[in-house]
Structure 1
């Protein structure tokens, strides 16, 4: 069997795996190379999951799994979450695996935890070489899927004082990747004592997180 045929069979198998698993309501944390702290905000996703299970009728596993960006394990999850402060590196194999996952129905949310932007933008060119991140307008469905954010992405942490921005990558008109910048939703999802955010700020962060979860699960 030729190398092409083998690759095609693997891809078809992965597509089937994603299709059948896309009905499961679970998400996973993406582990990546490059030295960036992919493991930051350890209490964020468990808190978001609990919030979603209590408020938008999801039934996610309370403890999110961790998957390597280059592993076929990513196909078990309809939604992946990625964060960090520093360097990100995708090998060619990582980029191909992630691209196949996204065009097969998966969704990736990348939340810049401050300092991630220049690295992830460069690596995403490996995933979709002919695309640029596009800022989402405030009337995009993701800002209304569960809770209403008429002004778009909420500001959770100040960082450089810039306005919060939500960027997307699309495949055949479907939003497959969301990059949130100058908002730091993950910090708002963490336990209250970690950043001492007021309840109103944490609530905004969790509500926007619920919007992302609902959108990813239903689109």
Structure 2
């Protein structure tokens, strides 16, 4: 019964700000604050194109805080080290299994640190690559080949990897794509318009999927 009321509390907290996104401020020295124009640009695109009403100035939350339960979607990015305390990991797990969703966009160099820390959150679960026919690639815009490539780093193919809990995708990790760079202001990376559009459309898919699932 206690677990039921806790889950109900989390659900009501999320519904109170049902269309807002927060940036996850993690420890470890990685630049969680990277790509400062990315999320505001993605939010503006979503509000204009897929009918959302998201606050264009996203809040910042910490993994151990109960504030995360006010947001159905957390966004996390960076280049380097990631560290979760046991309190962080426990709170993130409760958030995710109770209806939350997190998108982690590797800005380059994050993967080895992240994989280790995710074991604290879900010790028995692995990141698994999503097939190209997964619904997240077609919720608003169609990407029949899966995750688009936005920026070159090591010349590797882009991968969308996820953690699924009880048949629900709760975590998406985008690797070797660098969606966030494609969301930034045009003058930051001078990406062609068609590349930026692909990044924003894939981002809109993620937002729509998180809000509807």
- TM-score normalised according to structure 2 size: 0.96
1:21 Cα deviation after fit: 3.4
Between stretches 83-92 and 14-23, larger displacement belongs to 14-23
The corresponding residue for 2:36 is 42
SS for the counterpart of 1:177 is: strand
SS for the counterpart of 1:169 is: strand
Distance between the aligned counterparts of 1:152 and 1:123, measured in 2? 26
Aligned length: 211
Question: Residue 136 of structure 1 is aligned with which of 114, 130, 133?
Answer: 130
Q: Say if 2:210 is the partner of 1:216.
A: yes
Distance 1:117 1:22, change over 3 A: same
1:187 Cα deviation after fit: 0.4
Question: Residue 188 of structure 1 is aligned with which of 159, 162, 182?
Answer: 182
Question: Residue 48 of structure 2 is aligned with which of 29, 39, 54?
Answer: 54
- 1:99-156 Cα shifts (integer Å, max 9, x gaps): 0000000000000000000000000000000111000000000000000000000000
1:20 Cα deviation after fit: 1.5
The corresponding residue for 2:98 is 104
Q: CA RMSD in A?
A: 1.2
The corresponding residue for 1:22 is 14
Q: Is the 8 A contact 1:14 1:72 kept in 2?
A: no
Unaligned runs of 5+ in 1: 1-7
Moved over 4 A (4+): 11-14
Q: Say if 2:107 is the partner of 1:113.
A: yes
Distance between the aligned counterparts of 2:174 and 2:117, measured in 1? 16
SS for the counterpart of 1:18 is: helix
